[in-house]
């Protein structure tokens, strides 16, 4: 005894000594003043030894489990704050947290009303054109010119069919 | 003034006759719609908002229903114009506070109004005087289908129309009736009605929506849920609830007339006296007095033609409208005397109320 304790984080002489009991295990920690201040040890209520031991900031758990919409960058925290969503794609991205909310709020969880038939028809047609264009590129690359010609005609016909109804989104 | 053409052509106040129309001032249905693959207005960047605004404005202004209508970006409007449109229920309080990249298109007869980049990309509403959900639905459904010819809506087969707020997802339809319920208010029954109606998934709000009070005993009653039920089912359910509220109001009127006629006549007579003789009137006092006079019309103490005048005055006694009628900027105090003058002029033309309303065979007429 009599030997002065060193800071567990930087090795300087320790002046702050902590004892915390987590899951019936006693953890002791010795820190110098600088490290103690940097880790926020001056406020014992907002400090967790467990966080210090695994060497990460106290609030790290929350952002790690947060959902983010890749399409618009909207986060779960934004939703919590605003009560609104960022874009239509958020509905899919946030479905784990939205489902219980919707079930609580509405009469059911499945839409039973009007369907925008034109939008859906147009979307289906656009998807088909995109698929045919990919097939056309493949056909040209592998020199299947008969197939390529057929695909090109098919795409032209579909585009003409669509031109009567301009799609804006 | 951009909105001058609207103010010159009067909105329809004439279809509130009949036993149901006397209680329901107007019905309104609105759809919230968003464009696929675009951030909702509250989250979109300025450039994205402007793009959606331009696309939507072109599509909406091109509708046959909007021919000769007006459209504008909010930044083009001054405070007074915003206030007037809000008082006419053509734009929301939220849109009033917005500027560049948000705006509206309103039909000349003001029965159809589309807000662009409010909470959702599009908020399309159709208003009909009186109790006419079916008519409003037919027009709105037609407009929505026409818009969908050129706009790609954000839609999910399971969740329906996708909206900025999850409370609107699904049909994204809010149907409401503006109801005049003076007897339920006088009889102290309103709280009971609100509680009962809330339990059925129907919301009750004041005249100007969320957070507003029930000045003039006017309440907005609307569906609260939008997912898990089709549009026509929602309207059917709402209609059933509204019919029962109308019945309650009419029963309470009959009971008040039976049990406390003097109290009722006194209220109506005083209201008439104030409107005809006052020199200073705040907008809320004017609304409350007009409400009682309207009840007097329903109880046949006053000529039935007065009802549409009262319905028009409900709007024209609002601060923005009074300011506009004065043709110059005036402060609150001056506005209150200007309002009183407007109302005196209207009520000088009306005869004295006939307080013998129970004699139904001999319909009372006002004496000039």
Q: What is the pLDDT of residues B296-309, one digit of tens each?
A: 999 999 998 899 89
Q: Which of A112-116, B14-18, B281-285 has the lowest mean pLDDT?
A: B14-18
| Residue among B148, B153, B165 minimizing CB distance to A83 | B165
pLDDT digits (tens, 9 = 90+) for A116-138: 988 888 888 888 898 999 999 99
To the nearest 10 degrees (0 to 180), the angle between helices B231-259 and B133-150 is 150
Residue B34 has pLDDT above 80, yes or no: yes
Residues 6+ away with beta carbon under 8 Å from A55: none
Instruction: Tell me the chain B residues in contact with residue A112 when contact means C-beta distances shorter than 8 Å.
Output: 170, 228-230, 233
Q: Is the dihedral of CA B321, B327, B331, B334 positive or negative?
A: negative
Share of chain A above pLDDT 90, in %: 41
Query: What span, in angstroms and rounded, lies between the C-alpha atoms of B221 and B237?
Result: 12
| Residue among A71, A82, A113 minimizing CB distance to B170 | A113
Going by pLDDT thresholds of 50, 70 and 90, the confidence category of residue B294 is: very high
Cβ atoms B303, B351 nearer than 8 A: yes
Q: Which of A43-47, B33-37, B182-186, B221-225 has the lowest mean pLDDT?
A: A43-47
Among A72, A111, A121, most B C-beta atoms within 10 A, so best to mutate, is: A111
Residues within 8 A of A (CB atoms), B 40-59 only? 40, 42-43, 55, 59
Q: What is the pLDDT of residue A42?
A: 55
To the nearest 10 degrees (0 to 180), the angle between helices B332-348 and B306-316 is 170
| Residue among B34, B153, B227 minimizing CB distance to A107 | B227
Distance between B61 CA and the closest CA of chain A, angstroms: 15
Among B137, B147, B155, most A C-beta atoms within 10 A, so best to mutate, is: B155
Distance between B30 CA and the closest CA of chain A, angstroms: 14
Average pLDDT over residues A25-47: 65
The count of other CB atoms within 10 Å of the CB of residue B77 is 21
Going by pLDDT thresholds of 50, 70 and 90, the confidence category of residue B279 is: very high
**Nearest to residue B33, comparing CAs of B151, B208, B179, B189?**
B151
Query: What span, in angstroms and rounded, lies between the C-alpha atoms of A34 and B15?
Result: 78
Radius of gyration of chain B (CA): 21
Query: What span, in angstroms and rounded, lies between the C-alpha atoms of B367 and B349?
Result: 11
Is the ipTM above a cut-off of 0.90?
Answer: no
């Amino acid at each position: 005894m009599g030997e002065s304790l060193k800071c567990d984080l930087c090795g300087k002489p320790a002046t702050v000594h902590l004892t915390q009991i987590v899951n019936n295990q006693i953890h002791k920690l010795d820190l110098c003043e600088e490290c103690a201040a940097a880790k926020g040890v001056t406020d014992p209520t907002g400090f967790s030894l467990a966080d210090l031991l695994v060497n990460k900031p106290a609030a790290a758990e929350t952002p790690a489990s947060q959902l983010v919409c890749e399409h618009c960058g909207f986060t779960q925290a934004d939703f919590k704050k605003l009560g609104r969503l960022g874009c239509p794609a958020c509905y899919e991205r946030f479905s784990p947290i939205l489902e219980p909310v919707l079930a609580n709020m509405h009469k059911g969880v499945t839409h039973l009303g009007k369907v925008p038939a034109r939008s859906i028809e147009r979307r289906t047609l656009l998807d088909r054109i995109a698929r045919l264009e990919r097939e056309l590129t493949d056909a040209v690359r592998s020199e299947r010119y008969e197939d390529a010609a057929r695909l090109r005609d098919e795409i032209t016909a579909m585009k003409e069919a669509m031109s009567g109804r301009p799609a804006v989104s | 003034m951009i909105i001058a053409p609207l103010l010159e052509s009067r909105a329809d106040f004439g279809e509130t006759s009949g036993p149901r129309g006397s209680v329901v001032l107007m019905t309104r249905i609105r759809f919230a719609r968003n464009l696929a693959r675009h951030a909702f207005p509250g989250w979109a960047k300025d450039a994205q908002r402007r793009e959606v605004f331009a696309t939507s404005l072109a599509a909406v202004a091109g509708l046959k229903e909007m021919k000769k209508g007006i459209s504008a970006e909010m930044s083009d409007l001054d405070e007074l114009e915003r206030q007037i449109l809000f008082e006419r229920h053509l734009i929301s309080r939220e849109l009033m506070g917005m500027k560049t990249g948000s705006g509206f298109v309103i039909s000349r007869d003001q029965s159809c109004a589309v807000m662009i980049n409010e909470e959702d990309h599009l908020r399309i509403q159709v208003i009909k005087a009186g109790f006419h959900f079916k008519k409003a639905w037919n027009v709105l459904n037609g407009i929505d289908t026409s818009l969908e010819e050129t706009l790609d809506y954000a839609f999910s087969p399971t969740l329906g129309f996708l909206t900025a707020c999850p409370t609107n997802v699904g049909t994204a339809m809010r149907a409401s009736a503006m109801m005049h319920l003076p007897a339920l208010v006088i009889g102290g029954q309103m709280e009971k009605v609100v509680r009962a109606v809330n339990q059925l998934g129907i919301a009750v709000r004041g005249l100007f929506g969320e957070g507003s009070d029930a000045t003039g005993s006017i309440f907005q009653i609307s569906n609260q849920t939008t997912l898990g039920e089709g549009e026509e089912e929602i309207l059917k359910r709402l209609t059933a609830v509204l019919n029962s509220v109308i019945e309650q109001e009419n029963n309470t009127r009959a009971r008040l007339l039976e049990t406390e006629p003097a109290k009722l006549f006194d209220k109506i007579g005083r209201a008439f006296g104030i409107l005809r003789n006052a020199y200073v009137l705040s907008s809320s006092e004017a609304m409350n007095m007009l409400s009682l006079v309207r009840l007097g019309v329903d109880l046949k103490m006053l000529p039935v033609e007065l009802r549409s005048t009262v319905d028009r005055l409900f709007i024209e006694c609002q601060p923005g409208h009074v300011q506009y009628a004065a043709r110059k900027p005036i402060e609150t105090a001056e506005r209150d005397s200007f309002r009183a003058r407007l109302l005196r002029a209207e009520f000088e033309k009306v005869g004295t109320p006939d307080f013998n309303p129970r004699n139904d065979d001999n319909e009372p007429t006002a004496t000039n």
